[in-house]
Amino acid sequence: MNCPPRILVVATGNPGKLREIAAVLADLPVRVMGLDELPPIDEPAETGATFADNARDKARYYAEATGHWCLADDSGLVVDALDGRPGVHSARYAADDCPPDSPRDLIDAANNRKLLAELADVADERRTARFVCHLAMADDDRVVLEARGVIEGRITRAEAGDNGFGYDPLFFVPATGMTTAQLPPERKNAISHRGQATRQFAERLRQWLSSQQP
């Protein structure tokens, strides 16, 4: 008798992130569920100094709160000319200009405006940056799997493309000649930091699930 697939809660309220992760995990014997399918849970404070710290903390927090396996990511944009900012503060970079309960598109727009303003006087060759994604999966209070992905690029002077979210319209990937918001979803997932980390995670989850078989 086949057992029903285990629920894997993806600890995000961002529908773009959920779609990208769920697409990569589609052939694994888990049911991917977003936080919007569960009763409301207070968000944890993100106090980690690194993406890895925050991903681990969120995974443990939501695993204990929901009673399910939980996959959490912490990802963001690291800009060399800004000494690594926005970094772990990427999601709320423009918090002073946009309340945290604002719709996602307004938050993204405010973050992008702030980034462009801070880089206004920075020459093109110095606008190098990278997207970083760290994934952690927790089973109750234990982090059991982790993965990481990075993609290099530079920050444009104006937004281009509408296929992505967050900083995608400003993140130019030289190898493609486009921003990540101009790439078709399949191509973006093939090269993105989150796509890299999720594929790595999917393979590790496959192996881990096999090791759990009686």
Q: Which pLDDT does position 194 carry in this prediction?
A: 87
Alpha-carbon distance of 157 to 210, in angstroms, equals 47
Q: Which domains does the chain have, with CATH numbers?
A: 6-212 (3.90.950.10)
Which ranges of the chain would DSSP assign to H, the alpha helix? 15-24, 51-66, 104-118, 185-191, 193-212
pLDDT at 79: 98
User: Strands (DSSP E) along 58-164, which ranges?
Assistant: 69-79, 128-139, 142-155
What pLDDT is recorded for position 105? Answer: 87
Q: What is the pLDDT, as a whole number, of residue 1?
A: 42
Separation between Cα atoms, residue 60 and residue 121, nearest integer Å:
41
- Two tokens at 145? 């799997």
Residues 6+ apart with CB under 8 A from 61: 11, 44
Dist. CA 102–CA 111, nearest whole Å: 12
Q: Which residues contact 133 (CB under 8 A, 6 or more apart)?
A: 51, 73, 74, 75, 148, 149, 150, 192, 193, 194, 196, 197
- Supply the pLDDT for residue 3: 64
**What per-residue confidence (pLDDT) applies to 213?**
67
Q: How far apart are CA 6 and CA 16, in angstroms?
A: 22
Digit-by-digit pLDDT tens for the chain (214 residues) are: 456 788 999 998 778 778 878 888 989 999 999 998 888 898 888 888 999 999 999 999 999 999 999 999 999 999 999 999 999 999 889 988 888 788 888 999 999 999 999 999 999 999 999 999 999 999 999 999 999 999 999 999 999 998 878 999 999 999 999 999 999 988 888 898 988 999 999 999 999 988 876 5
Enumerate the active-site residues.
Answer: 74
pLDDT of 170 reads 97
Which one-letter DSSP state was computed for residue 82?
G
Query: What kind and span of H or E run contains 9?
Result: strand 6-10
Q: Residue 158: what pLDDT?
A: 96
CB 9 within 8 A of CB 66: yes
Distance CA 172, CA 169 (A): 8
Of the chain, the end-to-end C-alpha distance in Å amounts to 14
The pLDDT, as a whole number, for residue 143 is 97
- The span from the CA of 122 to the CA of 107, in Å, is 24
